[in-house]
Amino acid sequence: MHERCHGAVILLLFGMCFNALGAFVGVNLGTDVSNLPSASDIVAILKTHWITHLRLYNADSQLLKALANSSIEVIVGVMNEEVLRIGESPAAAAAWVNKNVAAHLPGTNITAIAVGSEVLTAIPHVGPVLVPAMYSLHKALVAANLNDLIKVSTPQSMDLIPRPFPPSTATFNASWNSTISQLLQFLKNTKSYYMLNAYPYYGYTTENGIFPLDYALFRSLPAVKQIVDPNTLFHYNSMFDAMVDATYYSIYAFKFSGIPIVVTETGWPWFGGANEPDATIQNAGTYISNLIRRVSNDSGPPSQPTTPINTYLYELFNEDKRPGPISEKNWGILFPNGSAVYPLGLISGRSTANSSAVYCVAKDGADEDKLEDGLNWACGQGGANCAAIQRGRPCFLPNSITNHASYAYNDYYQKTHSAGGTCDFDGTAMLTAIDPSHGSCIFTGSSNSRGGGGFSPEAAMGPSGLLPGVSSKLQVSSFQLLILFIFSWALMF
């Protein structure tokens, strides 16, 4: 019996250690901003919002110096105009690494080099030297004994996959077969990862209504509208997952496996022109909060369910100097003064970094019949206060079984967990450190709660302290380390 308990504790500790290293949500920092804060102010803003992963499009020395001793993990970028020179000259690659990477170590926590941005689709004439540039940079890292600490990869657009749905039949553009084969071989040889820029906003707006908006925003779809791959029968709960899976299948088509995908850009514009009706603050807030929740569950797409999807949001500030349509200038999640673009009432997944709150919510993709049974039990025998999810009340919208069940589950759990109440509901519920409150719907246990489900004028009108949710991994990991210590201590007796 003692041995069995001992083994069970070891497995539990292993699981907690694994989860503590789970998926993260980081941000991109573009600099086409008229009133860009100073480097030190940017770092202060990142720390204030508990942002722990940052991707730069360049290797700005002032910012890299300011990031020293911050513990923020940084991807530095080789700009597109630098790729050709580095690809043609190993000496140029070595000089670039010495100046932009080695000079800032170990103070600045640089973890990867992103070679260009969407090179194969944005500047195709440079494509033939892309992989040589990557090899030269990697060799420079090897020479400096940094190759085990810093990975080299290159972000590519979904445009490289002409027909991404169904995911199981997706393949890369055949005109790039030779380059892609070399790229995948490099990633495999160096144990690096594929960098993907995935934008459901464009997937939705350019497909002329083929896919529903809810699918692009991670919202639950009714059974009759489920998106299913006809070849694998995999159900896709979001366009984001389908895009990631389409990329995995495209990689498989080249007979490669074991190359993980990191989404280096994704987001949703919060303002657009008259011909861009889907670029709204409501849609942007919904997309970002649901994305954070999705990534934080540490799962992968249907073909790779155990591979988390580390993701970087596009982007920290609005780049108002960028050319193009109005929406192109309005992807930022924060204003340069550090306040959030989305009002607090329009974003869920608010930060719980300064509280110990834990919430009980419905699992994404849970069986709807089981969810309905759990909802009815919670609101009936379970004693949850479900007034807020009735029509016309603050938590009625979005009118989905998952949303309503989450509210009811959480209300029940918050009232009963101290007396032994659990968060299970026939396997349809899970605990999360991310506050699921949204709009004027405040979940019990939220640091902004006024009794649950009520309307909080201050919260709804004031700016959020985003980046919410991004910090949740830090909070959960700290809790898990505390439990790990307690169990480790217990094992000694």
> What are the boundaries of each domain within the chain?
25-334, 359-432
**Catalytic residue IDs:** 118, 265
Cα(261)–Cα(263) distance, rounded to whole angstroms? 6
Contacts of residue 356, Cβ cutoff 8 Å, sequence gap at least 6: 479
HSE toward the beta carbon, residue 311, CA cutoff 13 A: 30
Minimum mean pLDDT range among 71-75, 370-374, 431-435: 431-435
Class of domain 25-334: alpha beta
Q: What value does the mean pLDDT take over residues 155-178?
A: 97
pLDDT of 58: 97
Tokens of 193: 């990862």
DSSP for residue 194: E
Cα(192)–Cα(56) distance, rounded to whole angstroms? 18
Q: What value does the mean pLDDT take over residues 401-421?
A: 89
Residue 441, pLDDT > 90, answer no
Cα(217)–Cα(278) distance, rounded to whole angstroms? 11
Residue 410, pLDDT > 70, answer yes
Q: What value does the mean pLDDT take over residues 329-340?
A: 90
List the alpha helices (DSSP H) in 206-277: 213-216, 239-252
The 10s digit of each residue's pLDDT in 359-369 is: 888 987 789 99
Cα(357)–Cα(476) distance, rounded to whole angstroms? 10
pTM: 0.69
pLDDT of 372: 94
Tokens of 397: 């919208």
Residue 353, pLDDT > 60, answer no
Residue 448, pLDDT > 70, answer no
If you search the block for the tokens 């400096």, which residue do you land on?
A: 144
Q: What value does the mean pLDDT take over residues 287-300?
A: 90
Percentage of residues of the chain with pLDDT beyond 70: 82
Phi, psi of 20 (to 5 degrees): -65, -20
* Higher-confidence position of 423 and 316: 316
Residue 14, pLDDT > 90, answer no
The 10s digit of each residue's pLDDT in 175-214 is: 999 999 999 999 999 999 999 999 999 999 998 778 999 9
143-173 burial code (b ≥16 CB/10 A, e <16): ebebbeebbbbbbbbbebbeebbbbbbbbbe
Q: In what order do the strands lie in the sheet with 311-313?
A: 151-153, 110-115, 73-78, 53-56, 25-29, 311-313, 261-266, 194-197, 155-157
Minimum mean pLDDT range among 99-103, 203-207, 239-243: 203-207
Percentage of residues of the chain with pLDDT beyond 90: 65
- C-alpha gyration radius of the chain: 23
